[in-house]
Structure 1
Amino acid sequence: MGLIKVTLGSSGENQYRNVKPDHFPDKFFYPRLVRHVTSGPVIAMRVRGDVRRILGSSRLYPIPEIGVRSSLRQRFALSDVRNVAHTSDAKDAQQELALFEPFQPSEPLLNEILT
C-alpha cells in the first residue's frame, strides 16, 4: 500500500452532481450525502493497494461485537452517509480525481508525504 498523490481541495454541489449524476439521485439520503460531501475541505488521494480493507464497509450497521473497531469507518464515521472516506474503482477514480487535478500539495507536510 502506498500514497501516490495527494491534494487539498473542495467539492461544490454542482461539481459533485456532475461527476456522480447517477450516484443514488432517487435515494432518500442523496440530499444529505451531497451536503456532507460539499460541507468542507476534501483531501483527494491516489493510493496504491487494498484501501477498501483498511477503510472497511461503507455500511456501519450492524455494529461489530463490543470492542471490535477494525476499520477507519467503524472508528470515525458518524453514520453511513457522514462517512470518513470514499473509494472508487479505477475507472470512476480517474473521473473523480480529475476534479482535483493537478495534484499539487499546498502544504510542506504533504510534500514530505509524497517524497
Structure 2
Amino acid sequence: MVSQLEFVMIKPDGVKRRLIGEIISRFEKRGLNIIAMKMVRISRETAEKLYEEHKGKSFFEDLISYITSGPVVCMVIEGDEAVSVIRKMIGATDPKEALPGTIRGDFALSKAENVIHASDSPEKAKKEMSLFFEETELQLNTQTV
C-alpha cells in the first residue's frame, strides 16, 4: 500500500447543515488520519485558483459565489491510497448518481451544493493543500507540542 495525502473540503452547505462531525467520523472510522484541519472563509482569489480548470465554463461564476458564500472546513487526510479511497467514500459529483452510503449519496442536495470536495489526484491534492495550509501545519502530526 502507498500512504498518500489527500485534500478534502467540507463545502458551505455541509458546514451550514452541521454535517462536519458526521463527515469527519466517516473518515476516522475508515482508519484515515486527519493531519491538519481548519475552518476558513475562502477569498475570491483563492477560489479562482482552486477551480481554475473551470474558468470560462458557464457555471464558473456560480461555483465561485457558492464556495465563497460561507465557511468551509479544509482537511489534509493521510492513509493508504487516500486519494482513491476518499473519492470512493464521497461518491459521484451529481448526488443523483452517488450511491447510498457515500457522503454525497447520503447528504448532497444538488450537483451545485454537494457537501464535499476532494482532490482527484495526488498532484492536485498537493496543489490544493498549498492553497490552505503552510508546510509547517502539515508536519504537526509528527511533532510534540
TM-score (norm 2): 0.59
Separation in 2 of the partners of 1:62 and 1:73? Answer: 9
Using the TM superposition, give the Cα deviation of residue 44 of structure 1 relative to its aligned residue in structure 2, in angstroms.
0.7
Q: Which has the higher helix share?
A: 2
Equivalent residue number for residue 14 of structure 2? none
Structure 2: gaps spanning 5 or more residues: 1-31, 139-145
> Any stretches of 5+ residues in structure 1 without a counterpart?
105-115
C-alpha separation in 2, matches of 1:63 and 1:17: 26
Question: Do residues 36 (structure 1) and 95 (structure 2) align?
Answer: no
- The alignment yields a C-alpha RMSD, in angstroms, of 2.1
Q: Number of paired residues?
A: 99
* Cα distance in structure 1, aligned partners of 2:93 and 2:126: 20
Distance, in Å, in 2 between the alignment partners of 1:31 and 1:15 is 14
The range that moved more, 39-48 or 23-32, is 23-32
Contact kept, 8 Å, 2:35 with 2:75, in 1: the verdict is: yes
Candidates 35, 40, 56, aligned match of 1:26: 56
Identity %: 25
Alignment correspondent of 2:128: 96
In 2, Cα distance between equivalents of 1:75 and 1:52:
15
Taking the TM superposition and a 5 Å limit, the aligned residue runs for 1:1-115 are 1-21=32-52, 23-48=53-78, 49=82, 50-62=85-97, 69-88=100-119, 89-102=121-134, 103=137
| SS of residue paired to 2:40 | strand
Deviations 1:29-88 (A, max 9, x none): 221111111111111111123111111111223476xxxx22111222221121211111
Counterpart of 2:92, as a letter, is S
